[in-house]
Amino acid sequence: MKRLSIGTFIPVLLLTLMLAVLGFTSAYALSLKPVSESPQEVIYPAETASSDQIVRTSSSSVLPVSEPEETIAPMPADESSEPDNGGLADVPPFWMHGSLFVGDEYRSPTLSVKVTVHNDSHEFGRRIMYYVADIHVRDVTQIRTVATHKDFSKARRGRVREMAKGVDALIAISGDYCAARKDSLIIRNGVVYRSKLDDGDVCLLLKNGEMQTIQRKDANLKSILKKDPWQAWQFGPALLDSKGNAIKSFPGSKIRSLNPRCSIGYVEPGHYFFVVVDGRQKDSKGVTLAELAVLMKSLGCRQAYNLDGGASAHMYWKGTIFSDPSGGGRKISDIIYIAKEPYPASQFYCGKEGK
As beta bridge partners, residue 337 has: 144, 172
67 Cβ contact list (under 8 Å, min separation 6) = none
- For residue 332, pLDDT over 90 is answered with yes
The one-letter amino acid code at 45 reads: P
Q: Please state, in angstroms and rounded to a whole number, the distance separating the CA atoms of residues 282 and 276.
A: 17
Residues 207, 198: Cα–Cα separation, whole Å: 23
Q: Is the pLDDT of residue 65 over 60?
A: no
φ, ψ (nearest 5 deg) of residue 303 = -140, 150
The per-residue pLDDT for range 188-210, each reduced to its tens digit, is 999 999 999 998 999 999 999 99
pLDDT bucket at 21, cuts 50 / 70 / 90: low
Q: What is the pLDDT of residues 249-298, one digit of tens each?
A: 998 777 778 999 999 999 999 999 999 999 999 999 999 999 999 999 99
Kind plus residue range of the DSSP H or E element containing 264: strand 261-268
Kindly give, in sequence order, each residue whose CB lies less than 8 Å from that of residue 125, ignoring residues fewer than 6 positions away: none
This prediction's pTM? 0.75
DSSP helix, strand, coil percent of the chain (3-state; round to 5)? 20, 30, 50
Instruction: Please report, for residues 157, 219, 234, 313, 348, the alpha-carbon distance to residue 180 in angstroms, rounded to integers and kept in the order given.
Output: 9, 21, 11, 15, 30
Task: Read off the amino acid at residue 149.
Answer: H
Sequence-distant (≥ 6) Cβ neighbours of residue 353 within 8 angstroms: 208
Q: Count other Cβ atoms within 10 Å, centred on residue 135.
A: 24
The predicted pLDDT at position 36 comes to 39
What b/e string do you get for 164-189 counting C-beta neighbours within 10 Å, with b at 16 or more? beeeebbbbbbbbbbbebeebbbbbe
Give percent of the chain above pLDDT 90: 63
**Top-confidence range, 44-48, 79-83, 343-347:** 343-347
Mean pLDDT over residues 72-80, rounded? 41
Mean pLDDT for the chain overall: 81
- Is pLDDT above 80 for 95? yes
Helix-then-strand count for the chain, H and E? 4, 18
Quick: pLDDT tens for 117-154.
Answer: 999 888 899 999 999 999 999 999 999 999 999 999 99
Which pLDDT score is estimated for 347? 86
Q: Mark out the alpha helices in 32-99 (DSSP H runs).
A: none
Q: How many other β-carbons are positioned within 10 Å of the β-carbon of residue 204? A: 23
Q: What per-residue confidence (pLDDT) applies to 13? A: 63
